[in-house]
Amino acid sequence: MLLRALVLLFVAAFACLPAWMLPELDGTEGRRVQIALEMVQSGDWMVPSLGHEPTWAKPPLHYWLLGGVLRVLGDHPMLLRLPSVLSAAFAAWLAGELLRRWFGARTGWTGALGIACSPLVVMTWPTAEIDPLFASLVAGSLWTLATGVAHDRRLLVLVSGVLGGLAMLQKGPPLFLFGLGAYLVWWRHRRLRHALLHFLPMLVVPLCYFVPLWLWRVDPEAMLAVANEESVGRVQFFEWKHVRAIPGFWLRAFAVLLPFGAWCFWEWRGARDARMDRGDLMLRMCSGAAVVAVAVLTFFPGRATRYILPNVLLFTFAVAPAVAHFAATAGPLPVFARRMRQATVGLACAALLALPFVAVAEVGAGAVVLAALAAVGAHTARTPMRLVAFCLWLPVAAAWTVGLERSVEFDEGRRARMVPAAVLAQELVRLGLSPAGDLHPGDLQTVGHFDSPLLLALGMVPPGDELGRRPVTARWVLHEVAGLPPEPQRRLDADFVERLRLCLPFKTFVVSERRAGR
């Protein structure tokens, strides 16, 4: 077991390494790290803050992990992404062990490698964001629940509750978007047997944090109102215009399951009794969780791909026996698989012909190399075993071509922050402000949503009012153009005069000074 865990740790680390090497924090990664950094600086590990103001959009587990990394290991981006990478290796190991016990060694390795080499895992797991670790915890909880319920293993049901409680501390109520489908199958076939072993630890784990918080630190009603707006409460913003985006969402929901999702209808055991046995129940709970989650998320506005990351793991687990059975089949490929292989060869060859005529800045050499590898690999995948192997290594090849190129060239790209941060630091010094962290509390603050990666690259974490709810009291203000609602923007224009404008390809930032006499 230990050897298998070490092998999967190596595979997951190798597959994730190109994206893991991204030299800067990007997107909302910076927001998570800023909140963790403020925890470390203030010494307050109970109340997450952003801009030194409490933030209840997400529970604190992820901030605790990032804060621990900051205190013990440092602030390098690769270190801050370490919890997510380890969660990918853990998910692959757990899936492999559960499948191995009930479906055999071949299925265990198929499921484990299918997770470690999944396109979404190798491209999106190596971040400091909340969603990858949440997806790993949700999948682990539902895998152990399904296995424990199907095979009457109480310890596994208990473990599922603990993992579910940690998932609640990671992101909160979205756990139930995925749990609902599994619970429906559980109720239908086992009448929620051993339910207390699952739901009790799922409640106790987060309550160990929230009960002291509500008793001694914050008003629970106000905190829950904010948390509700960030999760289930988003349903109220659904509009008819979102209906037009439903087919695209369904297409993305299926696309993230590839390549193993293509085996979801493969008959992995041949003829069998029509009644659901233990193996069927175990897999049906996981696939049901993924399907119902997509159905429920259909009525949410936005529907970002990161919301359905748990489905990648759940469906890979559910179809692993089918893929393993397919790989063990003797003889040539079935007709449908042969046609798909031929289509892949054709598309890869077409890409090879077209890519040289596309601007290098738009694509890069990595895409050309990937197209060549895909053409050669698909051409040689003439048996079931080779086809499965091709589906496993192609995402890793994509990571080490396109993904590696993105990481290596990120410093020179449109979203780089280090060089603009250096320019902004020089300009702040010229204006009489120091970005070295020794500002007087009343000198500078941010207003509205502000790009956290830029602040962290600048080496500053000033106070901030993200929603622009209160009058600004500082002399200087950092804010984004079009980053405020109309009324706060009107007050800002009346009381401040613009002194500096930093125009980047993805955003424009402004430094403003309070008008004399205001």
What does the longest C-alpha to C-alpha distance in the chain come to? Answer: 85
The span from the CA of 491 to the CA of 485, in Å, is 10
Q: Is the pLDDT of residue 434 over 70?
A: no
Q: Is 44 helix (H, G, I), strand (E, B) or coil?
A: coil
Domain residue extents for the chain: 2-219+231-327, 335-411, 418-514
Q: Is the pLDDT of residue 505 over 60?
A: yes
- pLDDT value at residue 272: 47
**Digit-coded pLDDT (tens) for 455-483:** 999 888 888 888 777 888 888 899 998 77
Rg of the chain taking only CA atoms, in angstroms: 25
Residue 497 in tokens: 């005069």
The span from the CA of 156 to the CA of 179, in Å, is 16
- pLDDT value at residue 518: 66
- pLDDT value at residue 98: 97
Q: Is the pLDDT of residue 274 over 50?
A: no
Q: Is the pLDDT of residue 495 over 60?
A: yes
Q: What is the value of pTM for the model shown?
A: 0.92
Q: Is the pLDDT of residue 264 over 80?
A: no
φ, ψ for residue 329, nearest 5 deg: -70, 130
Give CA separation, 458 vs 33, 41, 156, 450, in Å.
Answer: 14, 16, 47, 13
Q: Is the pLDDT of residue 236 over 80?
A: no
Tell which wins on pLDDT, 176 or 443.
Answer: 176
pLDDT band at 232 (very low <50, low <70, confident <90, very high): low
Q: Is the pLDDT of residue 153 over 50?
A: yes
Evaluate whether 353 touches 373 at the Cβ level (below 8 Å): no
The span from the CA of 496 to the CA of 500, in Å, is 12
- pLDDT value at residue 237: 55
| Burial zone of 131 (CB within 10 Å; 0-12 exposed, 13-18 middle, 19+ buried) | buried
**Digit-coded pLDDT (tens) for 57-99:** 889 999 999 999 999 999 999 999 999 999 999 999 999 999 9
Q: Is the pLDDT of residue 10 over 50?
A: yes
φ, ψ for residue 96, nearest 5 deg: -60, -40
φ, ψ for residue 111, nearest 5 deg: -65, -45
Residue 479 in tokens: 């804010």
- pLDDT value at residue 486: 81
**Digit-coded pLDDT (tens) for 340-364:** 889 989 998 988 888 777 655 566 7
Quick one: DSSP state of residue 464? E
Give me the mean pLDDT over the 445-461 stretch: 89
Residue of 506, 165, 177 whose CA lies nearest to 314: 177
Give me the mean pLDDT over the 118-125 stretch: 94
**Digit-coded pLDDT (tens) for 215-226:** 888 887 777 666
Evaluate whether 367 touches 312 at the Cβ level (below 8 Å): no
**Complete DSSP assignment for 407-422:** HHTGGGSTT--HHHHH
pLDDT band at 404 (very low <50, low <70, confident <90, very high): very high
Long-range interactions of 493-500: CB distance < 8 A, separation 24+: 494/518, 495/471, 496/472, 499/431, 500/424, 500/427, 500/431
- pLDDT value at residue 40: 95
Tell which wins on pLDDT, 227 or 22.
Answer: 22
Residue of 424, 499, 494 whose CA lies nearest to 462: 424
Please state, rounded to an integer, the average pLDDT across all residues of the chain. 87
**Digit-coded pLDDT (tens) for 279-329:** 888 989 999 999 999 988 887 776 678 889 999 999 999 999 989 989 988
Could you tell me what percent of the chain has a pLDDT over 70?
90
